[in-house]
Chains A and B, each alone.
Chain A
Amino acid sequence: MATETAHAPQTNFNVSNEKMGMWAFLGSELLFFGAFITVYLIYVPRTADGPGPEVFDIPFTSVSTFILLMSSLAMVLALAGIQDRDLRRFRTWTLATALMGLVFLGGQLYEFTVFVQQDGLGLTTSAFSTAFYVLTSFHKVHVAIGVLMLGTLWFMSFTGRIRADGHGTNAVENVGLYWHFVDIIWIVIFTIVYLIPVDLAT
């Protein structure tokens, strides 16, 4: 998609089609996560005598949240790199963004195994557990797709689709939009899912 923009005709809003399409898609994603988060909020107290939100390890998740937020900074630096026509900086920071995304995913998967094996909180335990796992897993799927897109960008800088003359900047910008969105959604999930229920419990 993004590779055809260099020849795109002038658009009515002076925004590339790809960017406008991405914004529309992200608007749709807001309702996707909004519905999942709403369902989760309804189901927080419904633990069916199983474990509840008290199993969350706030310090651990805070660290992985911090890493994910820093990946947004790296994404900004990667975009700045390609905008400054500096292909090396672009590659470094793109790879850094993807790696931080992977670290976040690893942390989340580790957290899941702890919940399942030590706390006995399985997918089928209660309405709370189902809502929790499905919401956070869909977010993880989004992060994973973002990592794949970042890897593709990095790869594209070697095949000439992203070049030091600024060609392909639009693609980087769009992936950046998506990545920042996924981060912002995580801030909402982290606050609502992890922080607020613990406050209520204590």
Chain B
Amino acid sequence: MSAVEDRQGGSNLFRRPSSTAGVRGWLTTTDHKRIGIMYFVAAMIFFMVAGIEALLLRLQLATPEAQVLDSDIYSQMFTMHGVTMIFFALMPLSAAFFNYLLPLMIGARDVAFPRLNALSLWVFIAGGIFLYSAIFFGGYPDTSWVNYAPIQEVGADPAGYTLESGAQSNRMLFYSLGIQIAGVASLASAVNFITTILNMRAPGMTFMRMPVFVWMTLVVSFLMLFAMPIIGVALWQLMFDAGYEGNFFRPGAGGEPILWQHLFWLFGHPEVYILILPAFGIISEILPTFSRKPLFGYAAIVFSGVAIGFLGFGVWAHHMFTSGLGPVANAAFGLTTMFIAVPTGIKIFNWLGTMWFGTLRYRVPMMFAIGLVAMFTIGGLSGVTHAIVPHNAQQHETYYVVAHFHYVLFGGSVFGLFAGTYYWFPKVFGRMYNERLGQAHFWLQLIGFNLAFGPQHILGLEGMPRRYYTYPPGMGWDLWNLVSTIGGFIIALAVLLFVINLIWSARKGPAAPEDPWDARTVEWMTSSPPPQHNWDVVPTISHRDELWHRKYTDEEVPRPVPAGASPDHEASAGAEEDIHLPDPSWWPLVLAAGMPIASWGVVVDSWWLIGAGIVVMLFAGVAWGNEPATEPEHDEQPGTLQP
């Protein structure tokens, strides 16, 4: 790095930061591994905030006619719980895994656009800060994460808040702009990951040799690429309605409230798969490793994932069976909804086939992976019941739906993401997590989760509606609501153990070797934690499960092979000189900061503030394009090259 410091005296307007140490190093980093860690930390903070919101909801519902939250606060809390969990906890948690693992798994040194990657991170954080600043501008959005028209216009309490009154208009602006900003981050990530996977695979890493997690990342990236612009359009339209008296969803001047539902769910259903497919990818790595068998039906799992990606755009109206689409549309979307259960079922059976006759090791990642298979299957089955239109109409807007999607998103996504956290923890921090604490976490979470959401099936079938802030006694709902609340607090305890385990183990855990699990994919070939350049020599791939084939022979009973037999161990001398690392940069952070500034301008209706935000973004964009590279061999400008 001495060459870097030499250049610090340069007179260029847009200088590169040169230090990678300290806080400044983290703020300006373009290293995919650091970005991944920051994604994880920020997303976990949002996850816990949204979890606290959920606990408040459960406290209010624990007993009939409780007085913990009033109607308005309750509406804000369940809206923020949903929005935060989906856009600021689960999606960024998945992004943390994509960021950290993708280049390592395909044998690259970084993603295709390192600065764009940093931009995604900062834009996501800026969006979260902007959304939560709503407390200073008349309260949080209060009409649920689906935010249907026309309730988005009249507010949860029509007497108190309408779009014409400032409060409701501000709440809708925070909803639309907060998610819009998060969407920009997702879109940038999608472009980045697609390009990385298509273009930057190591020699020999053909598509059908890619780990399933990489495949699922590719599918999710395409889903984000095509779904985010649709919610973007809907959110812009909502912004014009709420801030500038537009007529997109206002029936008075010809607007169509149902249109919001179509746009929202045309995005919203692919979004469901954006949330679950990363977890599917993660456990497709974990199950073979801890079963000591190759993944059963690799091609079937890959292509069913791709099929889910396509079908995911053709099922959105099953969220709208009660909106009066007519029998033809209802029948068609009921059928496509049943179809999409098929590829998901294929995956479940292949995971079972992977474990079948395997030598199972019940370590924490494996426990969570098996937990996903079991819990997600329950959620998937209740999902199939929604495909039956009359049944769907009966369950619409009841707790049955709440139970269903928590089994899918918590029992699926969260179990998978936690499994992945434990699995790759040794790789990321070079230390082992605490196994006993992890096992306690798993069992507490499994029990708490089933206590919290299992009874909601019954509540829903008994007719308890969603989103009501209280209920009268004597409806037969008292017991199960209390059980559900107790379960919620057990989940909170489990997550607390998880966080304690992570923080403690990252500092004090026993040192982890390169490959603690005897794993199958190439990220376990490099040191734990990996060096900044990931590999001294980029591996040459000749098999699916490359690392396994380097460690063991292809015989009936595999034997370990002698070390160093792999082809790329030979050509290593002098290879280090060719390594190009992405240079740190301030501009992703600055560009991201412009977005909430402009958005606050929309909220307070100040063209000056909007203009200031846009100027910040444009300035950062120009600087982005014109900043020099710190390393001489990167530099584009003749005459400034250093020897």
Binding site for B on A (CB under 8 A): 1-4, 6-7, 9, 11-13, 15, 17, 20-21, 24-25, 27-29, 31-32, 35-36, 39, 42-43, 46-48, 123-131, 134, 138, 148, 152, 156, 159-161, 163, 167-168
Contact = CB atoms under 8 A, between A and B. Distances in A.
Contacts of A48: 247, 253-254
B240 A130 contact: yes
A129 B248 CA distance: 10
B233 interface: yes
B229 A35 contact: yes
Contacts of A168: 636
Contacts of A21: 112-113, 116, 191-192, 194-195
A124 B244 contact: yes
A11 B200 contact: yes
Contacts of B246: 123-124, 130, 134
Contacts of A9: 200, 580
Interface stretch (B255-263, B297-305, B321-329, B471-479): B255-263
Given A1-B115, A4-B634, A39-B248, A13 B199 contact: yes
A15 B580 CA distance: 19
B618 interface: yes
A20 B236 contact: no
A28 B229 contact: yes
Contact of B195 (A2, A17, A47, A134): A17
B198 interface: yes
User: Interface on chain B toward A: helix, strand, loop, or mixed SS?
Assistant: helix
Contacts of B636: 3-4, 6, 160-161, 167-168
A42 B236 contact: no
Nearest to A162: B636
A2 B627 CA distance: 12
A84 B255 CA distance: 53
24 contacts: A1-B113, A1-B625, A17-B199, A17-B200, A20-B112, A21-B192, A24-B194, A24-B195, A28-B190, A29-B229, A31-B229, A35-B230, A43-B254, A46-B255, A123-B245, A124-B244, A128-B254, A130-B247, A134-B236, A148-B618, A152-B622, A156-B626, A167-B636, A168-B636
A3 B625 contact: yes
B633 interface: yes
A177 B546 CA distance: 38
B427 interface: no
A28 B228 contact: yes
Interface residues of B, number: 51
Interface string B88-129: 000000000000000000000000110110000000000000
A14 to B, nearest CB: 9
B638 interface: yes
B335 to A, nearest CB: 23
A4 B187 CA distance: 22
B526 interface: no
User: Interface on chain A toward B: helix, strand, loop, or mixed SS?
Assistant: helix
A29 to B, nearest CB: 7
Interface in B227-279: 228-230, 232-234, 236-237, 240, 244-248, 250, 253-256, 259, 263, 266
Given A31-B226, A39-B248, A127-B254, 18 more contacts: A2-B625, A13-B198, A13-B199, A15-B199, A25-B187, A27-B225, A27-B226, A36-B233, A48-B254, A125-B247, A125-B253, A126-B253, A127-B247, A127-B253, A134-B246, A134-B248, A152-B625, A160-B637
Nearest to B115: A1
Which of B113, B192, B625, B629 is most buried by chain A, counting CB atoms within 10 A of its CB? B625
A4 B253 CA distance: 51
Contacts of A2: 625
A36 B230 CA distance: 9
A134 to B, nearest CB: 6
Given A7-B633, A126-B253, A160 B638 contact: yes
B201 interface: yes
